Amino acid sequence: MRLNGKYLLLFFGIFALFLGTQFQIKAQNESFYYKLIHPDTKAESFLFGTYHNYPEGWFEVPDMIKDDLAKSSALITEIGNIRSSDFGKKINKAVRYRPGKTVLDKLTKYDREAFQKYIDEKIRGSTNDQRDVLNYKPYFMFTRLFGLRFSDQVMSMESELKAITDAKNIPIQDLEPDHRRLLKYYKKYARKSKAKNIGLTAEIRMLMTSKMFADYLQNDIAAMRKAAGGASQYAKERNHYWVPQLVKKLREPSFVAVGAGHLIGQQAVQELLKGEGFIVEPIILSLPLPQALIDYLSEQNPQ
């Protein structure tokens, strides 16, 4: 049977509509926010993928999340207070220079002068804030520099959520950290960090992180996946380590907040929970971009 031009046009139009619908459905199934229903108790919990460090004023906890958090019996975060423990001291030693030292001490005179000029011109915050950030080895310094690059304070979504729970007397629980994997991760990336040409590297990282933060706010997971290259093997291992804990903890309505990278890919937390019988429902959050971010990206990409 031969189709004339009219029917071919109609056929391809329907086919394109089908593809568009399928793409839209797939996109709507990806999110950084999910409702979770426990297979046994039917308790309704929520899973939120967070952005760990960002400039003050660039994010406000949405009312929807505040309401869902208020309905929960506990806030569950991905890592406990390890700073005061012996393990915390090991991590601190891995990611920071010796007391009184900063990344500036590791640079040649030329690079040190160039980076100091960059700090003076671009990085905000008090002298103490700046020095504290520079005390981190480069890989761990960049995300904190991102916050001070645009404001006087580095913010954390986990801290903002904890402040809400404190006000409402909601208990805070933490997923038990796998100390061996955590320490391996921190040591690996602290050693991987290079100090050479750090001024140029810092500004490139600021732009990359700003773009990724904009993608995050707009729920553009495909763009984040492309920029980050998908979830790391380390993130996947931690997801598998967490799931047995979550199966137990989510027998009661709870609110789980872990880094957004743990919600990307086939071995994401929500996908592993599906395998444990949970009903997982995506909730699409698309948040407005802060004006400072819009202005910065416009300056970097003038039309």
Q: Is residue 24 part of a domain?
A: no
Write down the residue that tokens 């391809």 correspond to: 12
> Residue 26's pLDDT is what?
40
Q: Is residue 3 part of a domain?
A: no
Answer whether residue 5 shows pLDDT above 80: no
Angle at 264 between CA 263 and CA 265, to 5 degrees: 125
Contact criterion met (CB below 8 Å) for 239 and 267: yes
Answer whether residue 201 shows pLDDT above 50: yes
Q: Is residue 80 part of a domain?
A: yes
The tally of domains found in the chain comes to: 1
Per the structure, the complete domain to which residue 289 belongs is given by: 37-47+54-300
Contact criterion met (CB below 8 Å) for 74 and 168: no
Question: With bands split at pLDDT 50, 70 and 90, how would you rate the model's confidence at 274?
Answer: very high
> Residue 155's pLDDT is what?
94
Answer whether residue 230 shows pLDDT above 80: no
CA distance 176 to 248: 12
Task: Put the strands of the sheet holding 33-37 in their side by side order.
Answer: 172-174, 75-77, 255-259, 44-50, 33-37, 279-282
The single-letter DSSP state of residue 28 is H
Q: Is residue 105 part of a domain?
A: yes
- Tens digits of residue pLDDT in 67-96: 999 999 999 998 766 655 788 888 889 999
> Residue 15's pLDDT is what?
39
Contact criterion met (CB below 8 Å) for 278 and 35: no
Compute the chain's Rg from CA coordinates.
22
Q: Is residue 8 part of a domain?
A: no
Q: Is residue 285 part of a domain?
A: yes
> Residue 10's pLDDT is what?
44
Query: What are the angstrom distances between the C-alpha of 24 and each of 21, 207, 227, 267?
Result: 5, 29, 21, 22
Residues of the chain with pLDDT > 70: what percent? 87
Answer whether residue 138 shows pLDDT above 80: yes
For 217-282, the three-class secondary structure string (H helix, E strand, C coil) is: HCCCHHHHHHHHCCCCHHHHHHHHHHHHHHHHHCCCCCEEEEEHHHHCCCCCHHHHHHHCCCEEEE
Question: With bands split at pLDDT 50, 70 and 90, how would you rate the model's confidence at 22?
Answer: very low
Q: Is residue 16 part of a domain?
A: no
Question: With bands split at pLDDT 50, 70 and 90, how would you rate the model's confidence at 13?
Answer: very low
CA distance 278 to 35: 10
Q: Is residue 246 part of a domain?
A: yes
Q: What is the pLDDT of the chain when averaged over all its residues?
A: 86
